[in-house]
Amino acid sequence: APDRLLSFSPARLTVPEGANATFTCSFSNTSERFVLNWYRMSPSNQTDKLAAFPKDRSQPSQDPRFRVTQLPNGRDFQMSVVAARRNDSGIYLCGAIFLTPKTQIKESPRAELTVT
């Protein structure tokens, strides 16, 4: 279930092909130790991981078109599809894994990207 700690906006985003599509993932918990993941829902309704913050060194093969940038306030993260393609249209969300005091995984509400 989506967690109110995490927001993912806008809920619907439409961009022309070739433009950048940027969502913002915000979370209110400033736990020092966390990993933020950006997901796309697959056709079979699984979460496919696109990118992570901090960068996931174990997955160097991740597509560089998917970028996660922390904003200066520390709790907003821009998640951008660079030069969006039509087949990037779909459902996206972010997830946070808090490592302390015990590991917890939270998911944001989902958002829809349409590339025209």
Which structural domains are found in the chain, ordered by start?
Answer: 6-115 (2.60.40.10)
Read off the pTM: 0.89
pLDDT for res 27: 81
DSSP per-residue letters across 36-48: EEEEEE-TTSPEE
Written as tens digits, the pLDDT of the chain (116 aa) is 555 678 999 999 999 999 999 999 998 766 667 889 999 999 899 999 999 998 777 766 678 899 999 999 888 999 999 999 999 999 999 999 888 778 888 899 999 999 99
pLDDT for res 108: 94
Strand segments (E) across the chain: 6-9, 12-15, 21-27, 34-41, 47-53, 66-70, 76-81, 90-98, 104-107, 111-115
pLDDT for res 3: 57
pLDDT for res 54: 87
Exposure pattern of 24-36 as b/e (b: 16+ CB <10 Å)? bbbbeeeeeebeb
Rg (CA), the chain: 14
* CB-based burial label for 114 (10 Å; 0-12, 13-18, 19+): middle
pLDDT for res 32: 66
